Amino acid sequence: MNSDVILLIAEDDDGHFGLIQKNLVRAGILNDVIRFKDGQETIDYLFQKDVTFCREPGRSYVLLLDIRLPRINGIEVLAQIKANPEVRKMPVIMITTTDSPREVERCHTLGCSSYIVKPVEYDNFVHAIRQLGLYLKVVQIPSVKGGY
């Protein structure tokens, strides 16, 4: 992944966030990371609701998005992103414990780039995140539009 790309991680669980971040680094992903602990923080950042802490127009972002987030769930965050012309091209990778085929289908219908189930077992979780890191190394990321 180009070093200019900012990695956004919407994850409310501190343990999961730590494992994701640590194993992406181990996979060679050294990009800047911004964490959101709920869906509302994610929306506020992306849609520039607070000009002191918001996305920069013209920058490239990838969002790792948990479904089960407080305040606004990940599916609603995904729907709002994909409905907005300024940010809809941003890759959104669902990374969640939810393996329901219905949820997988719904997220893909809304436009997620990928859907990864967080394995319950530690070693499998680590392996999945390292595989994600390899994927991020080769994927091309568009910049987002928009202004203040």
SS (H, E, C) 13-77: CHHHHHHHHHHHHHCCCCCCEEEECCHHHHHHHHCCCCCCCCCCCCCEEEEEECCCCCCCCHHHH
In a domain, 80, yes or no: yes
In a domain, 16, yes or no: yes
The number of domains in the chain is: 1
Domain that holds residue 115: 6-137
Helix (H) or strand (E) holding 126: helix 122-138
Q: What is the CATH number of the domain that holds 130?
A: 3.40.50.2300
* 3-class DSSP assignment, residue 74: helix
Query: pLDDT averaged over the chain?
Result: 91
Q: Give the model's confidence band at 57: pLDDT under 50 very low, under 70 low, under 90 confident, else very high.
A: confident
In a domain, 148, yes or no: no
Q: pLDDT per residue over 113-126, tens digit each?
A: 999 998 889 888 88
Regarding pTM above 0.75, the answer is yes
In a domain, 145, yes or no: no
